[in-house]
Amino acid sequence: MSANERSRLRQRYREGRLMYFLMRVALALIVGILGLIVGVIAWRGARELNWEMLTQPPTAGYYLGGGGGICNAILGSWWLAVGATFTAFLLSLPLVLFLNVYARRNGFINRLAVVTRLSLDILWGIPSIVYGIFGFALMLAVGLRASLLGGIIALTLVELPILARSLDEVLRLAPEELYTGTLALGATPLEYAQVLLRQAAPSVPTALLLAFGRGIGDAAAVLFTAGYTDRLPGGLLEPVASLPLAVFFQLATPFPATQARAYAAALVLTIIVLTTGVLGRALSARLSRYVVR
Amino acid sequence: MNSTGNLAPNRGASRGTFIQYRARHVISWVTGILFTSLSTLIVILVPALLGALLVRSWTLVSAIPLPRLLIGTEWRPLSGAFGFAPFIAGSLWVTAIALAVAVPVALLGAIYLAEYAHPRTRTSLKPLIELLAGIPSVVYGLWGILVIVPVVRQLAAFTRTDNPTGYSVLSGGLVLAVMVIPFILALSEEVLRAVPQGLREATLALGATQWEVVKHVLLRQARSGIIAAVVLGFARAFGETLAVLMVVGNVVQLPRSPFDAAYTLPALIANNFGEMMSIPLYDAALMTAALILFLIVFSFNFGARLVLRRVGGTDDVSQ
C-alpha cells in the first residue's frame, strides 16, 4: 500500500469518526434538552404546588394572588379529554374495521380505503388551531356557545386521526392466515372483525391513552370552543376550564405570584401526560403476550 | 354445518340453521354498509374543512383581491387594512430557523439510532424520545419563557437590535426546533431502517467504512423519505400555535433579523378570535388566515404523505 493510499484511508476513517462523534453529540443534546425541559418544569413547579392548588377552585382574587387553586381546570381538562377520547374511539373503531375487514376486496371499496387512509394522514397533520376554528364555526352554525360539548367536538377532531391511525397500524399487522382461516370456517366478515378486535385488544389501551394525552395537552383546539370559567364543570352546555389554558392565562397576568402558579399547573399537566404515556406503553407490553403473530 | 356435509346449509336439512345463516350474513352486510359510509364521512371531512374556511372567509377575499391580501404589509382592522405579509413572513422566519436547527440534529440522532446504536440503547432511547415528544406545547412555551428567552436576551445585547426583550423570531425558532426534533428523528429513523439490509452488507463487502455506507448508500436510498419527514416537520412547525405565540413577541411587522419580534399566522388567530365580532370583516380576515394556514400545511402534508407511502416505511410516529 502506497503512502498516498494510506493517507487516503486514514482520511476516510477520520471522516467516519468525526461523524460518529457528531452523532453522539446530537443525541446527547436531544436527550439533554428534553431532560432539561422536564427538570425545569419540575423544579419551578414543585415549589408552588400544594394541596390547595389541586383541590380548590379559584376564589375571587385568585388572579391577583388570592386563595384557591386550579381544580376547575384539572376537572375540566379531564372531562374534555375523556369525552373526546370516548367519541373518537366510537368513531374510529368502525373506521378501522372498514379499512381492515370490508375493504379487503378489490375495486371501488378498496380505492375508498386508500383515500380514507390518506385523508386520515392529512387530518393528522392539520394544526389544532384550524380544528378549533372549524369547531367554532360548526358551533356557530348550530347555535352552540362555548361549552364542554363544543370543546369535546373540537378535541374529537384532533384525536380521531391519532386514534384511527394507531389502531389501523396494529390491525394491518394481523397475519393473512387469520383472515383466510377465519373465512374458511364459514365466518362472515363481521365475525372476522370480532376475531380481529381480539387481536387488537392489547393495543387499544395504548392508543386510547396516547390520544387522551394528546387531547389533555392541546390548547389551541379548546381556546374558543370550550371557553374558560373559574367554576367547576357544571354540564355539557356550560363552559369549562382546561389545564393548558390555565397555564396560559395565569402566565399572561402581570403578577409574579400568579405566574408562579402557572408553573405548578404546567407541572400537573406534564405529570398527567407523562403518566398516561408510560402507562400506555407498559400496558401494551403486558397485554400483547397473547397476540397471534 | 348440516348432516350431509355441505358448508352452506340447505333448506331441507334445517330451516332454523338456514335462517340463522342468512341472518348472520345480512347483519354483516348491513354493518359493512354502515362502516363504509362512516369512512366516506372521514374522506369528506377534508373538503368540508376547506369549504367551511372558504365560505367564512369569502366576504374578505371577494372584497379585496387575494394578491393584495397576501403581500399587503398593513394590518389595521379598524380602518379596513388587512395585509397578511407580516404574519406569513413571521411564520416562515420561525419555521426556517426551527428547521435549520432541528434537521441536522435530528438526522444525526436518527442515523445513530438506526445504524450505530446498540439495540439496547435504541430500545431504551426511542420510547423516551417519543414520550417526551408528547409534552404539551404550552409546557414547551413555558420552558421557552424560562430558559430560551433569557438566553436570547443575553445574545441580543451583543447585537444592534432595537428589541432587547428576547421575545423574538430566534426564541420562537429555537422552541419550535426542540418540538419538532423528536418528530423528524422518529420518522427518519423509520425510513432509514426500512432500507434493505443487503445494501449495507454489499457496500461493506466492497471495503466501505460504516460512515461511507451511510453517506453513499443509506442517505441516497432513503433520501425521498427523509425529505418527506422534513416536510412534515415543516408543516408541523408552521401550524404550531401556543408555544410560538408565547415567545415570539407578537408585534405586527416584517422581521428583518432573528432578534426582531414577529407575529405568526396561528398566533394571529389565537390572540384575536374572541374579539372579532365587533369590527367589520375582522372575522372573515381571521378565517382567511386560517385558510392560508390550512392550504400551506395541507399541500405540504399531502405531498410528503404520498412520498412516504411510496417509500413504504410504516410512516408512523406513535405520537
B40 and A112: CB-CB below 8 Å?
yes
List the single residue in A with minimal CA-CA distance to B214: A16
Contact assessment for residue B7 and residue B1, using Cβ atoms and an 8 Å cutoff: yes
Pick the closest to residue B246 from B125, B139, B152 (CA basis).
B139
Extract the C-alpha cell encoding B239.
401550524
The label of the residue with cell 367551511 reads B52
Q: What are the CA-CA distances from residue B211 to residues A65, B113, B208, B237 (Å)?
A: 58, 14, 8, 30
Q: How far is B236 from chain A (nearest CA, A)?
A: 7
Q: Which of B27, B112, B132 sits opposite A34 (nearest CB)?
A: B132
Res B263: pLDDT: 94
**Model confidence at A40, in pLDDT bands (50, 70, 90)?**
very high
- Chain B CB within 8 Å of residue A60 CB: no
Contact assessment for residue A126 and residue A160, using Cβ atoms and an 8 Å cutoff: no
Res A143: pLDDT: 87
A244 and B298: CB-CB below 8 Å?
no
Q: Which of A16, A125, A219 sits opposite B235 (nearest CB)?
A: A125
**Model confidence at A47, in pLDDT bands (50, 70, 90)?**
confident
List the single residue in A with minimal CA-CA distance to B207: A9
Spatial neighbors of A255 by CB under 8 A, at least 6 apart, are A63, A64, A65
Q: How far apart are CA A292 and CA B291, in angstroms?
A: 46
Q: How far apart are CA A117 and CA A124, in angstroms?
A: 10
pLDDT digits 0-9 by tens, A80-128:
999 999 999 999 999 999 999 988 876 788 888 989 999 999 999 999 9
To probe the interface with A, which of B42, B46, B219 has the most A CB atoms within 10 Å? Answer: B42
How many CB pairs below 8 Å do chains A and B form together? Answer: 259
CA angle B207, B211, B215 (to 5 degrees): 100
- Chain A CB within 8 Å of residue B301 CB: yes
pLDDT digits 0-9 by tens, A199-244:
888 888 888 998 999 999 998 999 888 888 888 887 888 889 999 9
Q: What are the CA-CA distances from residue B304 to residues A143, B65, B231, B234, B299 (Å)?
A: 38, 30, 6, 10, 9
A19 CB neighbours in chain B (<8 A) are 108, 211, 214-215
Spatial neighbors of A91 by CB under 8 A, at least 6 apart, are A156, A160, A164, B38
How far apart are the two ends of chain A, measured CA to CA in Å?
52
Q: How far apart are CA B195 and CA B313, in angstroms?
A: 9
Pick the closest to residue B176 from A18, A127, A6, A51 (CA basis).
A127
B309 CB neighbours in chain A (<8 A) are 118
Res A57: pLDDT: 81
- Chain B CB within 8 Å of residue A212 CB: no
Spatial neighbors of B242 by CB under 8 A, at least 6 apart, are A219, A220, A244, A248, B137, B138, B141, B270
pLDDT digits 0-9 by tens, A6-19:
998 899 999 999 99
Taking only residues 159 to 188 of chain A, the set having a beta carbon closer than 8 angstroms to any beta carbon of chain B reads 160, 164-166, 169, 186, 188
List the single residue in B with minimal CA-CA distance to A214: B134
Q: How far apart are CA B237 and CA A127, in angstroms?
A: 9
Q: What is the pLDDT along chain B (319 residues), one digit of tens a residue?
A: 444 445 555 555 567 788 888 888 899 999 999 998 888 888 999 999 999 999 989 989 888 888 889 988 888 888 888 999 999 999 999 999 999 999 999 999 999 999 999 999 998 898 888 887 889 999 999 999 999 999 999 998 888 778 888 899 999 999 999 999 999 999 999 999 989 999 999 999 998 999 999 999 999 999 999 999 999 999 999 999 899 999 999 889 999 888 999 999 999 999 887 666 667 788 889 999 999 999 999 999 998 888 887 765 444 443 3
Q: How far apart are CA A172 and CA A178, in angstroms?
A: 12
Q: How far apart are CA A250 and CA A228, in angstroms?
A: 12
DSSP characters for B42-95?
HHHHHHHHHHHHHHHHHHHHHHS-HHHHHH---EEGGGTEE--HHHHHHHHHHH
Res A206: pLDDT: 86
Pick the closest to residue B134 from B92, B96, B186 (CA basis).
B186
The DSSP output letter for B115 is I
Q: What are the CA-CA distances from residue B282 to residues A136, B57, B68, B265, B275 (Å)?
A: 15, 10, 16, 14, 9
Q: Which of B32, B109, B240 sits opposite A127 (nearest CB)?
A: B240
- Chain A CB within 8 Å of residue B121 CB: no
What pTM did the predictor assign? 0.89
A166 CB neighbours in chain B (<8 A) are 316, 318
Q: How far is B157 from chain A (nearest CA, A)?
A: 24
Across chain A, mean pLDDT equals 88
Taking only residues 244 to 273 of chain A, the set having a beta carbon closer than 8 angstroms to any beta carbon of chain B reads 244, 247-248, 251, 262-263, 266, 269-270, 273
The DSSP output letter for B162 is S
B212 CB neighbours in chain A (<8 A) are 12, 16
Q: How far is A107 from chain B (nearest CA, A)?
A: 14
- Chain A CB within 8 Å of residue B28 CB: yes
Torsion-angle region of residue A49: left (phi > 0), alpha (psi -120 to 50) or beta?
beta
B138 and A269: CB-CB below 8 Å?
yes
A283 CB neighbours in chain B (<8 A) are none
Contact assessment for residue A230 and residue A242, using Cβ atoms and an 8 Å cutoff: no
Task: State the burial class of residue B311 (Cβ atoms within 10 Å of its Cβ: 0-12, 13-18, 19+).
Answer: buried
Q: How far is A182 from chain B (nearest CA, A)?
A: 14
Res B13: pLDDT: 57
Spatial neighbors of A272 by CB under 8 A, at least 6 apart, are A77, A213, A216, A243
Q: Which residues are bridge partners to B81 per DSSP?
A: B76
Q: Which of B111, B138, B315 sits opposite A23 (nearest CB)?
A: B111
- Chain B CB within 8 Å of residue A93 CB: no
Angle between helices A71-100 and A243-252 (to 10 degrees): 140
Where b means 16+ CB within 10 Å and e means fewer, A159-185 reads bbbbbbbbbbbbbeebeeeebeebeee
Looking at per-residue pLDDT, the higher value among B272 and A20 belongs to: A20
DSSP characters for B197-238?
HHHHHHHHHTT--HHHIIIIIIHHHTHHHHHHHHHHHHHHHH
Res A293: pLDDT: 62
Contact assessment for residue B238 and residue B290, using Cβ atoms and an 8 Å cutoff: no
A112 and B104: CB-CB below 8 Å?
no
B134 and A210: CB-CB below 8 Å?
yes
Q: How far apart are CA A183 and CA A194, in angstroms?
A: 12
Tell me the one-letter amino acid at B244. V
Helix (H) or strand (E) holding A40: helix A3-48
Q: How far is B32 from chain A (nearest CA, A)?
A: 6
Q: How far is A212 from chain B (nearest CA, A)?
A: 11
List the single residue in A with minimal CA-CA distance to B128: A31
Q: How far is B105 from chain A (nearest CA, A)?
A: 5
Q: How far apart are CA B45 and CA A157, in angstroms?
A: 10
Res A54: pLDDT: 84
